[in-house]
Amino acid sequence: MSESEVTLLVTLTGRDRPGVTSRLFAQLSAHDLTVLDVEQVVIRGRLILGVLLACGHSPDLTAIHRKVRTLAADLGMEAELTLGSGEQAGRPRGRLHVTVLGNPLTPAAIAAIAGRIAATGANIDRIERLASRPVTCIEFDVSGADPDGLRTALARESASLGVDVAVQRGGLHRRAMRLVVMDVDSTLLQDEVIDLLAERARRAEECAALTAAAMRGELDFAQSLRQRVALLAGLDESELTDLLKHLRLTPGARTLVRTLSRLGYRCGAVTGGFTQFTDWLAGELGLDYTAGNTLEIVDGRLTGRVTGELIDRPGKERMLRMFAAQAGVPLSQTVAVGDGANDLDMIAAAGLGIAFNAKPAVRSAADASVNVPHLDVILYLLGISRDDVEAADADDLDLISVPSAQNTNSAARSLRSR
């Protein structure tokens, strides 16, 4: 539309009831109007309906005002009509999603985030709650913002407020994600498996010293892994089987993978740890792809060596690319989740990189950061609400209640690097 053309914003507020939207548009249909935008929100039974209209060359604004106000009075609602120009209507909408996670999420935090958005010259077009548990998640649709500048500004703000904030491009970009690949130790699992094995081999202190040396940069990952695995030489194979009984999944891991799978995503796990445990995770969670290092076992005991191609920091990125190729998904439609420096390459390569309770260097490099102990909040960063999760669960129960050959679960498509 031209910048000189008149726009009319019609807003109805009041108790929600069936037929409000259809009756409003029926009144508007008799006039020379074009619908530019519609937004409708219901909060605890109270409706807010906004319609942005472009007016024709000779709009009968008096008649439009009268009809809308008469309808509002009949419905027991309030009506507001505001005239504007085409220039005001031309602001690009829905360009960015700003997702805010908190437990609790306070009014002060929302005020600070909204204030920072406004300070950058951006506009909040819509605010929506995606979830109230396990954390509260509010999402802003923002237009007129520079993504990098807004991300930097909100990262500083979020640290002082104790909330997580993610800034992503809007539209189909986020909805196009189709493959999610996660680290294992301290991500899918609460534990560091090699530390637990070292405890069983009575070499925990030596293992911890090697880990610390690697974190200081004195050893690279490959050196550190080989030296730590060497400490496990002689450990009975039965210890690995027994350890599986004691591994702790991260809260929300089952919900995350189950929901993604039901919504058509592929899910994978890649680790600098060991296939003896990723194999278990594949069966436990229904993962599509897994990759890790394999502990060599001879005559029922660990030899202190790993076999096959080493999965280190570059190896994780390589596995992400391989999983994407297997799934027929471009890298731009992949998500990588991790917590340590070993995950940096795959986080950088993925379409969306998420730091989960991560080291500072990983948080600063990732597109989004989550610092709560619930892995399923990653769903909200993908625009999947708690209602979507519960609807997916309900749909699955409906399928189970009507058995058929088409509804039986297929075996997980695990791809393991040996």
pLDDT tens figures, 3-32: 457 889 999 999 999 999 999 999 999 888
Percentage of the chain modeled with pLDDT above 70 = 89
Q: Identify the pLDDT of residue 85.
A: 65
Residue 92 has pLDDT above 80, yes or no: no
Domains 6-89 and 180-188+239-296+303-398 share a fold: no
pLDDT tens digits, 268-302 = 999 999 999 999 999 999 999 999 999 999 999 99
Q: Is the dihedral of CA 22, 28, 31, 36 positive or negative?
A: negative
Q: What's the Cα-to-Cα distance from 151 to each of 113, 136, 165, 171, 251, rounded to whole Å?
A: 11, 20, 8, 18, 27
- pLDDT band, residue 91 (cuts 50/70/90): very low
Q: Identify the pLDDT of residue 391.
A: 84
Reading the block at residue 301, the tokens are 């005991």
The predicted model scores a pTM of: 0.77
- pLDDT band, residue 195 (cuts 50/70/90): very high
**Which one has a higher pLDDT value, 218 or 64?**
64
Average confidence (pLDDT) over 357-383: 92
- 3.30.365.10, 3.40.50.150, 3.30.70.260, 3.60.110.10: which CATH number matches 6-89? 3.30.70.260
- pLDDT band, residue 410 (cuts 50/70/90): very low
Q: Identify the pLDDT of residue 86.
A: 56
Q: What is the DSSP string of 315-352?
A: HHHHHHHHHHHHHT--GGGEEEEESSGGGHHHHHHSSE
Q: What's the Cα-to-Cα distance from 39 to each of 238, 299, 399, rounded to whole Å?
A: 60, 67, 33
Average confidence (pLDDT) over 101-105: 91
- Cβ atoms of 150 and 165 within 8 Å: the answer is no
Reading the block at residue 237, the tokens are 């194979």
Reading the block at residue 384, the tokens are 């999947």
| Separation between Cα atoms, residue 84 and residue 11, nearest integer Å | 14
Tokens 């301290």 found at: 186
Torsion, Cα of 153, 123, 126, 68 (10° steps): 170
Q: Identify the pLDDT of residue 399.
A: 43
Cite the active site residues: 183, 185
DSSP secondary structure letter of residue 189: B
| Separation between Cα atoms, residue 139 and residue 118, nearest integer Å | 15
> What fold does the segment set 96-171 form as a domain?
Alpha-Beta Plaits (3.30.70)
Average confidence (pLDDT) over 309-320: 95
Write the class of the CATH domain 180-188+239-296+303-398: alpha beta
| Separation between Cα atoms, residue 394 and residue 196, nearest integer Å | 38
Average confidence (pLDDT) over 394-411: 44
Reading the block at residue 84, the tokens are 């504007």
Residue 94 has pLDDT above 60, yes or no: no
What is the average pLDDT score of the chain?
Answer: 87
Region of 152 on the Ramachandran plot (φ > 0 left; ψ -120 to 50 alpha; else beta): alpha
Residue 90 has pLDDT above 60, yes or no: no
Reading the block at residue 378, the tokens are 């990653």
Domain ranges for the chain: 6-89, 96-171, 180-188+239-296+303-398
| Separation between Cα atoms, residue 87 and residue 228, nearest integer Å | 64
- Cβ atoms of 174 and 382 within 8 Å: the answer is yes
Buried/exposed code over 309-334 (b: 16+ C-beta within 10 A; e: otherwise): eebbbebbbbbbbbbbeebebeeebb
- Cβ atoms of 113 and 145 within 8 Å: the answer is no
Average confidence (pLDDT) over 96-115: 92
